[in-house]
Structure 1
Amino acid sequence: MSTVSARRRTSSTTDLALVATFAALIAVCAILPAINGVANVPFTLQMFGVFLAGSALGARRGFLAVVLYLVVGTAGLPVFTQGHAGPAVWAGATGGYLLAFPLAAALVGAVSSRMAHRSPATFVVAVSVAAAVATVAVVGTLGTLGMMRALDVSASVAWGFATPFFVADVAKGVLAAVVAASVLRAFPQLARR
């Protein structure tokens, strides 16, 4: 076996382990006790896990970690917020949010990859801004559309339900950026995506 093939296999194994680990982290963040928010949409640390997956793993692996989390929850493992599971969760008020999570991780991960070799302060600012944009433009929009469908309410009412979460989710993005900066400093090989 050639050295290149052995390295590629080791890299694939490492990627798989990282994707699975971050999918598990997102699940833990989702099932920690939640605070019930407006329109019965729970407030959890799930977005922190999504943003951390993207900012620490990059766009592709962060996206895959979130997709793995969603697949496991849809298959029936109770890893969604408040221990929910199964395909019926997608039809509820949080379905749009679930759809947005992999896209948010990919967006934050793309910025993280570009900024990984910059100073920690620059990295944190750039990734925090990306998380804020993802919160409003991706998660807020798809979450609103999901609530409009599930709750049969207008766009303005659904947007009103989504906006109370923005400040907390932006704060989670900043926290994820700070943690990811430390992780990438400790494990610079993660930045080689």
Structure 2
Amino acid sequence: MERNITLTALFAALIAVLGLIPKLTLMSGIPITAQSLGIMLCGTVLGARRGALAVLLFLLLVALGLPLLAGGRGGLGVFAGPTVGFLVGWVVGAYVIGLLTSGLTSLPVGVAAGIAAVIGGIVVLYIPGIIGMMIMLDMSVQKAFLSILPFIPGDLLKAVLAGAITATLARARPGVVASRPAG
């Protein structure tokens, strides 16, 4: 129990630290940040349930006003902006990434984590992200979809990094990757 709480808090802190990397905001109002790498790692390392809990803890701290999002943003106002769909999608994405990483046992852990990060951290995450943009920015589906295209190359790179980091952790500390059975 204590280990679960510690890991959940540690990964919430990791998401916050990745927000210190300067953001680049596109014309859509959606920033490119390193924080989505943290979301991917929550799922690949902690697994579905703990990964989603780490993201929820992070979002609770943001809602309480801590400036933990890229660019020092925080407070309830961020949940009324164009990024709201992505913030909600982070929880779902981390959960799906954890499920897929644990389910793809026939693949090496790094490959499974990379595939899971692409599916959960890009495909699944973008669905609520696009919906949020459509609602908050009064965009059509086509315009919202086109506005997320510039994010895909960077997110693919983050998915590869998540797979590599997860594989390295699994080799260095067998059993530390909770999304996969030890051995």
Q: TM-score, normalised by structure 1?
A: 0.86
Cα distance in structure 1, aligned partners of 2:91 and 2:176: 19
Contact 1:78 1:85 (C-alpha < 8 Å) held by counterparts: yes
- Report the more deviating stretch, 105-114 or 143-152: 105-114
Contact 2:47 2:178 (C-alpha < 8 Å) held by counterparts: no
CA-to-partner distance for each residue in 1:18-73, whole Å, 9 max, x for gaps? Answer: 00000000011123211122312111101111101111111111111111101100
- Partner of residue 132 from structure 1, selected from 118, 122, 133: 118
Cα distance in structure 1, aligned partners of 2:162 and 2:27: 24
CA-to-partner distance for each residue in 1:2-32, whole Å, 9 max, x for gaps? Answer: xxxxxxxxxx101100000000000111232
- Report the more deviating stretch, 12-21 or 161-170: 161-170
Cα distance in structure 2, aligned partners of 1:86 and 1:62: 22
What 5-or-longer segments of structure 2 have no aligned partner?
Answer: none
Which amino acid counterpart does residue 13 of structure 2 have in structure 1? A
Cα distance in structure 1, aligned partners of 2:178 and 2:134: 41
Which entry has the higher C-alpha Rg, 1 or 2?
Answer: 1
Cα distance in structure 2, aligned partners of 1:176 and 1:136: 12
What 5-or-longer segments of structure 1 have no aligned partner?
Answer: 1-11
Which amino acid counterpart does residue 130 of structure 2 have in structure 1? T
CA-to-partner distance for each residue in 1:45-102, whole Å, 9 max, x for gaps? Answer: 0111110111111111111111110110011111012111111101101000000001
- Partner of residue 39 from structure 2, selected from 44, 50, 54: 50
Quote the residue 2:84 is aligned against: 95
Secondary structure (helix, strand or coil) at the match of 2:71 reads: helix
Cα distance in structure 1, aligned partners of 2:140 and 2:16: 31
Percent of aligned pairs with the same amino acid = 36
Structure 1 segments, 4+ long, off by >4 Å, are none
Q: Which has more helix, going by share of residues?
A: 1
- How many residues align? The count is 179
Cα distance in structure 2, aligned partners of 1:159 and 1:176: 24
The Cα of 1:191 is off from its aligned counterpart by: 3.7
Cα distance in structure 2, aligned partners of 1:165 and 1:76: 27
Secondary structure (helix, strand or coil) at the match of 2:176 reads: helix
Relative to structure 1, the CA distance from residue 134 to residue 38 in structure 2 (aligned partners, 3 Å threshold; closer, same or farther) is: farther
- Answer yes or no: is 1:85 the counterpart of 2:74: yes
Quote the residue 1:186 is aligned against: 172
Secondary structure (helix, strand or coil) at the match of 2:74 reads: coil
Contact 1:140 1:163 (C-alpha < 8 Å) held by counterparts: no
- Report the more deviating stretch, 150-159 or 182-191: 182-191
Contact 2:169 2:177 (C-alpha < 8 Å) held by counterparts: no
Which amino acid counterpart does residue 85 of structure 2 have in structure 1? G
- Partner of residue 142 from structure 1, selected from 114, 128, 132: 128
Quote the residue 1:106 is aligned against: 95
